[in-house]
Amino acid sequence: MISLKVINEDNFVDAFNLKLAKGQEEYVSHPVRSLAQAYVYRNQCQPFGIYADEKMVGYVMVIYDYDVPEYDIWHMMIDESLQGKGYGRAALNQIIEYIKAKPFGDSSRIALTCNKNNYVAKALYESIGFSATGVEDEDEIELVMNV
What pLDDT is attached to residue 32?
A: 79
| Domain residue extents for the chain | 2-106
1 or 21, higher pLDDT: 1
Strand 45-52 and strand 55-65: pairing?
A: antiparallel
Q: What percent of the chain stands above pLDDT 90?
A: 73
Which residues are CB-contacts of 113 (< 8 A; sequence separation ≥ 6)? 137, 140, 141, 142, 143
Whether pLDDT at 23 is above 80:
no
Please tell me the CATH superfamily of domain 2-106, with its number: Gcn5-related N-acetyltransferase (GNAT) (3.40.630.30)
Q: What is the torsional sign of CA 38, 39, 42, 47?
A: positive
pTM: 0.91
How does the average pLDDT of the chain come out, rounded? 92
pLDDT tens, residue by residue, 30-39: 787 888 888 8
Q: Using CA atoms, how far apart are residues 23 and 37, in angstroms rounded to an integer?
A: 23
CA 103 to chain centroid, in Å, comes to 16
Task: Kindly report, residue by residue over 67-124, the tens digit of the pLDDT.
Answer: 999 999 998 999 998 988 999 999 999 999 999 999 999 999 999 999 998 898 999 9
State yes or no: pLDDT of 16 exceeds 80.
Answer: yes
Query: What's the mean pLDDT in 2-28?
Result: 87
* pLDDT surpasses 90 at 2: yes
